[in-house]
Structure 1
Amino acid sequence: MATFVLIHGGGDVGWYWHLVEAELRARGHDVLAPDLPCEDETKGLQETADWVIEQIGDRKDLVVVGQSFGGFTAPLIAERLPVKLLVYLAAMIPAPGERPSDWWDNTGYAEAAKTQAAKDGGLTGNKDPLIEYYNGVPRALAEEALSRARDQSNASYYNPTPLKAHPDVPTKFILCKDDHLFPADFFRRLAPERLGIAPDEIPGCHCVALSHPKELTDQLESYLTA
């Protein structure tokens, strides 16, 4: 059994993970899915990671999962604690010393999104959050998620990550094949470039923990027995 530390994306809440948390607990795992202090301007990326580490306490057998913007926090935890596995889920993969605000240009995101939008008729990058983030999520659940949205601090978004190198721990990347924010082809290129690994692929939108919680849980759990 493992302890899954689930790091939500920018301006989100731990509730995002509630369906996956239930699946994991039903299979005998412990889960920590906190509401990050994402609106707190006194907490940049390092302070956010420190805060999560305090919440982890003496838990063992850690699997740290960072979703979306959580990809900037997850490796800062993994470099400090003895984790079994680090998982990026449809996540921003930071380069050492990179500012999250620069990540978009540094990775060539705009061109990748434009190319995919031309193929899917403008679904990728659509400004309607129900299309860009929550396609495939039941409407009531998507609206509940939107009602819980928060802001993301400038301190965490515009300052460089203190990460000096990716932590030397087993690492996986999961892309979501129906993601209208981060196209699948974008991560098929970026994960090998930045992590040196090919991504695993599952069905679902950017907010896959709400659209395909069982499939996501199956993928996460499969890493424990691989």
Structure 2
Amino acid sequence: MKYVLVPGAGGVAWYWNRVVPLLKSAGHKAIAVDLPGDDESAGPREYADIVASAAAGADDVVLVAQSMGGFTAPLICERITVRELVLVNAMIPLPGESAGQWWGHVDSATAQREAADIGGYGEFDTATYFLHDLPDDVAAEGEPHQRAEADIGFTQTCDFTAWPSIPIRVLAGADDRFFPVDFQRRVARERLSIEPDVLPGGHLLALANPAGVATYLLA
């Protein structure tokens, strides 16, 4: 099996660094693909070309996409043969939708606000919404790897025909504050008719719970 792991906004492959060794130790090939998230000339279509090139020659690909990587995933599936698709705390687009449009179409702001009111963790900031459940050393290690997503990542439309007729799993973090779990359940049901699986951990699930994510991927 070859696991091809796609990061979210910013395109930083480092996000998967705690999961890749676990997949390899189980006897599988695994590659996290670094994407030019801060390049204004590259959006989901170009990301899909890069990932397809990285996966070239394999016919047993399990494609795993985190967060904004959900906008690249269906495009990749039209370029290469994918055995299974796993979406992790992912944005789930409709054909022709852009990531910038997605927020309003699924009303993510309301879901975030309502979850914050219930959880009592207040207004948005990076530490509160992304780093709250990470070990301190992991959060510190990740700082130099971060980069912003260029505008094209949000404006370029995701021009795919339909979600592929292959096994698709959706994995949600029970403690995700950016995409609250009930919100993810609704979007997955509405757009894929899939009930998400849930693991302990927040939005950066592969950093917060790498063993859980690896075990889930290997199941």
TM-score (norm 2): 0.96
Q: Give, in whole Å, the separation in 2 of the partners of 1:44 and 1:20.
A: 25
Moved over 6 A (4+): none
Residue 128 of structure 2 corresponds to 131
Residue 185 of structure 1 corresponds to 182
Q: Deviations over 1:56-78 (max 9, x none)?
A: 12123100011001110111111
Residue 117 of structure 1 corresponds to 116
Say which of 201, 204, 209 aligns to 1:204. 201
Instruction: Report the Cα offset of residue 122 of structure 1.
Output: 2.5
Q: Deviations over 1:69-107 (max 9, x none)?
A: 111011111122211101110000011100100111000
Instruction: Report the Cα offset of residue 181 of structure 1.
Output: 0.7
Q: Give, in whole Å, the separation in 2 of the partners of 1:109 and 1:157.
A: 15
Q: Give, in whole Å, the separation in 1 of the partners of 2:207 and 2:141.
A: 11
Residue 93 of structure 2 corresponds to 94
Q: Give, in whole Å, the separation in 1 of the partners of 2:117 and 2:133.
A: 21
For 2:37, the aligned partner's letter is: C
8 A contact 1:3–1:62 mirrored in 2: yes
TM-score (norm 1): 0.93
- What SS is found at the alignment partner of 2:5? strand
Instruction: Report the Cα offset of residue 146 of structure 1.
Output: 2.4
Instruction: Report the Cα offset of residue 12 of structure 1.
Output: 4.1
Say which of 145, 150, 153 aligns to 1:148. 145
Q: Deviations over 1:190-223 (max 9, x none)?
A: 101001110001111111111100001111111x
Structure 1, 190-199 or 133-142: larger mean CA deviation: 133-142
The CA RMSD measured in Å over matched residues stands at: 1.2
How many residue pairs get aligned? The number is 219
- What SS is found at the alignment partner of 1:60? coil
For 1:122, the aligned partner's letter is: Y
